[in-house]
Amino acid sequence: MPRTTLRAAVVLVAILLASAVLGGCTIAKIGGAGPRPLLLNNPSGNYEVLKHFVIEEQITFDYTNSAEMDRLVAEILSETKADAIANLRITIKQTAGDHCMNSVTCGFANSRTWAIEGDAVKFK
């Protein structure tokens, strides 16, 4: 195997390992303390879905890995005057932008994207 091919392979493996290390793992704390309930599944009883929503927010330089759901869905709650948020799905992901930010700052930015999906509901 020629030296240039071997060197290119070593550089490629080093880049892939650095990407994996800089991506890291994520443990999250998710909380909600507002006046309206946040439900991970369908509520019991009759209700009407006012709006289905998907919110994505990039969070950088946050080393707590925690998010207050009431703050993230406050606009939906005020817009729809909903009684609750139901069928809540929370995903923490690393987008291409997050990966670039973490690569450039050697992981110091701790960039993550929170994706929140759910239904604003009104009880009948």
Model confidence pLDDT, tens digit, residues 50-103: 999 999 988 888 777 777 777 778 888 889 998 888 888 888 888 888 888 888
Q: Which residues of 58-94 are buried (b: 16+ CB within 10 A; e: fewer)?
A: ebeeeeeeebebbebbeebbeebebbbbbebebeeeb
The domain locations on the chain are 3-123
User: Among the listed ranges 10-19, 21-30, 58-67, 111-120, which one has the minimum average pLDDT value?
Assistant: 21-30
CATH architecture, domain 3-123: 2-Layer Sandwich (3.30)
